[in-house]
């Protein structure tokens, strides 16, 4: 019988139906590749490149959550990593695969909801998220944390890029309760450095800062209104 709540997972799925953009929405979003969307460029995040420049990240196994057209996944592969890149949009995966072929790199692209992934515990050295986390509704935040903790190896690294509260490109400044009163994420939730510290309190903080603004075209990607963060799973 549908629309009956028997367990916690049923409750999460009911709340998902109220707030989450369906896969059709994201397919439409990525369908027109000529739209002036900042992250449609092929350059990797400036913070990601700098993590390697500082030897914080090295070659290893990578899981990217919400890979979009694949620009960061391709960079990881070019650094010698084994990459699994996940996105809920079939259109974004098609685009990312085309880019991977153009750049002559091998990436395992996965068309899936991140919460439906079959993850082997302690299997990744690095988890990367550029723009997925701020679309995660509050009721799924614990599921997201559990996914990262389960997937990362001890002392593995987790990095993300997300909207700053009331940033230039988005970042709704609202309480978690307000999300459900309004039945909307208002385009994506905004965060502060302190909020990120509280959410990822079980991780060791390496760095939290604003993304550096990079004028395009450039070999690096950087726009205003985003926070970047790097954490390490405690061994």
Tens of each residue's pLDDT in the chain, 235 residues: 589 999 999 999 999 988 877 788 999 999 999 999 999 999 999 999 999 999 999 999 999 999 999 999 999 999 999 999 999 999 999 999 999 999 999 999 999 999 999 999 999 999 999 999 999 999 999 999 999 999 999 999 999 999 999 999 999 999 999 999 999 999 999 999 999 999 999 999 999 999 999 999 999 999 999 999 999 999 8
Angle at Cα 227 formed by Cα 223 and Cα 230, nearest 5°? 120
Distance separating alpha carbons of residues 226 and 223, to the nearest angstrom: 7
Is 201 strand, coil or helix?
A: coil
Domains defined along the chain, listed by start: 8-34+44-233 (3.40.50.150)
Distance separating alpha carbons of residues 210 and 86, to the nearest angstrom: 25
Distance separating alpha carbons of residues 165 and 167, to the nearest angstrom: 5
Q: What is the pLDDT of residue 22?
A: 75
Q: What is the pLDDT of residue 2?
A: 81
């Amino acid at each position: 019988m549908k629309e009956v709540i028997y367990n916690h997972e049923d409750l999460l799925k009911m709340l998902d139906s109220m707030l989450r953009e369906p896969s059709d929405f994201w397919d439409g979003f990525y369908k027109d590749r000529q739209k002036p969307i900042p992250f449609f460029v092929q350059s990797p995040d400036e913070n990601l490149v700098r993590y390697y420049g500082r030897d914080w990240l090295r070659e290893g196994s990578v899981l990217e959550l919400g890979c979009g057209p694949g620009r960061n996944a391709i960079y990881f592969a070019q650094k010698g990593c084994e990459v699994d890149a996940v996105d809920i949009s079939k259109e974004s995966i098609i685009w990312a695969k085309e880019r991977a072929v153009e750049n002559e790199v091998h990436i395992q692209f996965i068309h899936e909801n991140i919460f439906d992934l079959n993850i082997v515990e302690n299997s990744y050295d690095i988890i990367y998220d550029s723009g997925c986390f701020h679309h995660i509704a509050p009721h799924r935040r614990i599921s997201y944390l559990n996914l990262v903790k389960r997937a990362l190896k001890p002392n593995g690294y987790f990095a993300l890029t997300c909207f700053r509260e009331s940033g230039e490109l988005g970042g709704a400044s609202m309480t978690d309760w307000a999300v459900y009163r309004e039945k909307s994420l208002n385009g994506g939730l905004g965060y502060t450095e302190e909020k990120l510290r509280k959410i990822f309190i079980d991780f060791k903080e390496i760095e939290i800062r604003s993304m550096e603004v990079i004028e395009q075209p450039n070999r690096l990607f950087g726009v205003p209104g985003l926070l970047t963060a790097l954490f390490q799973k405690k061994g």
